[in-house]
A and B are shown apart, each in its own frame.
Chain A
Amino acid sequence: MNDEKFMDGKLKIRNIILKLDEGRVTPDEAKRLFEQGMSTIEECDSILNCYKGKREEIS
């Protein structure tokens, strides 16, 4: 479900930011977290862009 993916993604990014701000990670770990965060942002963005504006009618 888009909703869960999007909400989970945002939460994940916030947690990554928190870890980086605390600074208690190794440079390698920080790099990995940053890359993971950027990829999650892309995923969230792609969720927003997956809509097509379709109008269906059922009866």
Chain B
Amino acid sequence: MRTYYFTDILIKNRYPQGISSLTMAEKINVLQQIQEIYGITPSEIQSVSVLSQNIKQILTTHPHFTSVLVLGEVTNFNKASSGHIYFDLKDEKSEIACTLFMSMQKNVDFDLDNGLQVLVKGEIATYEPRSRYQINIMQILPVGEGLSILKFKQLKEKLAKEGLFDESRKKRIPILPRKIGIMTSKNSAAFKDIVNVVDSRFPKMDIVIAPVIVQGKNASEDVIRGLNLLSKIDEVDTIILARGGGSAEELMVFNDEALVRAISASKKPLITGIGHEKDTTLADLVADLRASTPSTAAKAAVYDVKKLKDELTSLERHLERSYKTYLASRKVYKKDVEIKEKNREIAKYKVITIILISLIILISFIIIAWVSP
């Protein structure tokens, strides 16, 4: 094995081929020179390899390094062709190299990427030939906002692949639902907005309210419960799921997988009016119609009854006009036929008259001829 000493530089000029090629006698000579020139005892000097080995020995046996838990952000992410993943874990001041070997990746159920906050569990290891240290990861977990964003992204992709957001799955929103089902917090501004819009457009529209919790730990289950209740009422033809604006955290309930699947499985058309224009949840994506606010959801669910009545009045007038026009055209036709028939009669009588006159004249001539001598 080749051995390099840090005294290389010192003796490079005298032994340009490097000291590794020196004989034992020459090496001893070099060490003696170092001792003479610098007063350093040869036993204090260690090779790079020995130092590297010593570092490794400490790092791989010291309890501070054999099992570490480190929190940081992924940067310089790289998946090698070998399948191993390399990245640096950083915080505000420092970075440390990390390796996630392929054999350890089977328990990672999310996509690692730059910018993600993670908690890693592993051991400090060194790569002896380069004397560099790194964390060999045994477990890695996403955390914080990064976790929420990642979960949202991954669930969205998963459900999209299953076709839950496909346009072809969306049900038509009826123009005239027999009843409207509303799922929201009962005393919320969202509920008041919906009722106001319904009252202004279709005051006699029948409404079934399923008050649900729209925020917090059990909200998703509660909304699913509300959806099931409304689904059982045959006359409810359209369902509105609404809540007013809130933080991303507050709207997280509408990204719950079970809720999204329940909406997808619902046989009744569902309109969402969640948060504000900028907020798009998975519930919005799976809904048959996404309205930007609770008020617009109500507008989409209920037509203006006055307009529908006006439409009927207009159709009635049109029908009457069409029938009158038909009858009028029939009368004109009838008159034409009568005139033609009269003319035909007159012509017939004319012919008969001419024939009769001709006959009379002819008979007169015959009588005159017979009587005269």
Contact = CB atoms under 8 A, between A and B. Distances in A.
Contact of A51 (B202, B230, B315, B326): B202
Interface size band for B: 35 or more
A2 B207 contact: no
Given A53-B204, A57-B211, A58-B229, A30 B312 contact: no
Interface of A: 1-3, 6-7, 10, 13-14, 16-17, 20-21, 23, 25, 27, 30, 33-34, 37-38, 41, 44-45, 47-48, 51-59
Contact of A3 (B177, B203, B311): B177
Interface string B305-321: 10011011001101100
Given A34-B323, A48-B308, A17 B318 contact: yes
B344 interface: no
A10 B315 contact: yes
B203 A53 contact: yes
**Chain A to chain B: the 7 pairs with minimum beta-carbon distance, closest first:** A3-B174, A51-B204, A20-B322, A53-B204, A34-B323, A2-B176, A3-B176
A10 B311 contact: yes
B210 interface: yes
Given A34-B323, A57-B210, 15 more contacts: A7-B175, A10-B315, A17-B319, A20-B326, A23-B329, A30-B323, A33-B323, A34-B319, A38-B319, A48-B305, A48-B309, A52-B206, A54-B206, A57-B209, A58-B233
B178 interface: yes
Contact of B209 (A37, A44, A53, A55): A55
Interface in B109-142: none
Contacts of B202: 51
B317 to A, nearest CB: 10
Contacts of A20: 319, 322-323, 325-326
A44 B329 contact: no
17 contacts: A2-B177, A3-B175, A6-B175, A10-B311, A17-B319, A20-B322, A20-B325, A27-B327, A34-B319, A41-B312, A48-B176, A48-B309, A53-B206, A54-B207, A56-B206, A56-B209, A58-B233
Given A17-B318, A23-B329, A58-B230, A45 B309 contact: yes
Nearest to B212: A59
A2 B325 CA distance: 32
A1 B268 CA distance: 13
B175 A58 contact: no
B322 A1 contact: no
B237 interface: yes
Contacts of A48: 176, 305, 308-309, 312
A6 B175 CA distance: 9
Given A17-B319, A38-B316, A48-B308, A58 B325 contact: no
